Amino acid sequence: MAGSIRKRRNIKSVPTPNDSVPFGTADINEPASEMEVYAKEVLASLINDNLPPTPNNFSLYFDRLLEDKSESLRKQISAVLELEEDNDAEKTIALEKSLKQGFSSIRNLLQVLANIYKNMTLMSKLLDKRKAELGTSPDEQMAMHVIDTLQDDLDKLNGILKKQVEQIKQHYDQTASLIKNVEQDTIFDNRYGVYNKRYLLSKLEQELSLVSEFKHHSSLIMIELSKSLVSDIANEKAVTLMVRTIARLLMKTSRRSDIVAHYGKGVFAVILKHTDLANAQKAAERLCDLVSSSNFFLAEREIHLKISVGIKAIMADQGVEEQVIHALDAMSAADKIPSGYKVHREPEAAPEEGKG
């Protein structure tokens, strides 16, 4: 499922730090870059320390050994890492701040409501007290005095309640605004258990920068439940369950490096990093076969699921919106194809004047 147009160096024989053969001499015609030499050194250090070269261990050694390298190499690697940086820590901190402010506003709101409850209880006690006074005061003048006193009590309490209601409105508006901001920063689609559209577009923008910088192949595929199948099932709940099944299958079959997201209205997208069109097509074919072998039972009717898949190569010279539209167009066209998937082909460039 992975592919790349970049020519890779021969790293089958990885020297250890004690070897006298310098890094990068395995390919005389094409010397390795400083970064590739450094990556080999990190791997060799892991092996030399009898540690498994897992992503976590490699990352730890990558950062640790970099401290002793030249400033130029550190700047070069930092520039590359910035292209891949997700800023997840900063986003998490901002999200936590918003949540804490939201909890504070909710706490203030509950406190005001508690005070209103206390004041309403006080009003009830005052009414009982004045009622008792009226019962023991047959004199009309005394009764009018009790009523006037009660009116003063109610006016005071009414003034307090008005202020508290205004406080409730302020806290509610603040809480609603914070919740809206949190929703705008979310990256997860709770309905289908995958990333949301906002995260998809940001990662696609990031992948465009990486493709432009490193000239590797990556692909975008768009998936939806076949429209012909949806039109044949007049049951909205059943269709929703089928779409959720598609989401689960996508998560089950995707690689750790793939970005699986819900684009909207039951349409899913997958960014296949370092995957050319040929391998993306194979991935789509496997996905279509897997989905078609998944049976769905509606009452006594057995339904074979079917999807439509559009495949698009991520091009550095095209914008995010343009590439998504091309993938969606290919997905719509795939619904009329027996295979269930279609590749968007870029138009060939016109020959220059006087050539071809």
Contact 1, 275 (CB under 8 A): yes
Instruction: Walk across the sheet containing 307-313 and list its strands.
Output: 188-189, 194-195, 259-264, 267-272, 219-225, 307-313, 341-343
Q: For residues 125 and 130, what is the distance between their CA atoms, to the nearest angstrom?
A: 9
Q: Lowest-confidence range among 20-24, 29-33, 42-46, 215-219?
A: 20-24
pLDDT for the residue numbered 1: 43
pLDDT for the residue numbered 27: 39
Angle at the Cα of 279 from the Cα atoms of 276 and 285, rounded to 5 degrees? 135
Q: What is the mean pLDDT of residues 213-235?
A: 91
CATH 3.90.76.10 fits 194-343, yes or no: no
pLDDT in tens, 99-124: 767 777 777 777 888 788 788 788 77
Q: What is the mean pLDDT of residues 65-81?
A: 85
What number of other Cβ atoms are within 10 A of residue 91's Cβ?
A: 12
DSSP letter assigned to residue 280: H
Instruction: Out of 44-53, 165-174, 280-289, give the one with best mean pLDDT.
Output: 280-289
Q: What is the mean pLDDT of residues 8-34?
A: 41
Q: What is the mean pLDDT of residues 153-164?
A: 82
Domain ranges of the chain: 1-85, 88-185, 194-343
Decide the pairing of beta strands 267-272 and 259-264.
antiparallel
pTM of the entire predicted model: 0.67
pLDDT in tens, 315-354: 999 999 999 999 999 999 999 999 999 999 988 754 544 4
**Mean pLDDT of the chain, nearest integer:** 81
pLDDT for the residue numbered 287: 95
Asked whether residue 8 carries a pLDDT value surpassing 80, the answer given is no
What number of other Cβ atoms are within 10 A of residue 57's Cβ?
A: 15
Separation in Å, CA 175 to CA 96, 109, 171: 14, 9, 6
Q: Which of 199, 211, 216, 213 is nearest to 269 (CA)?
A: 199
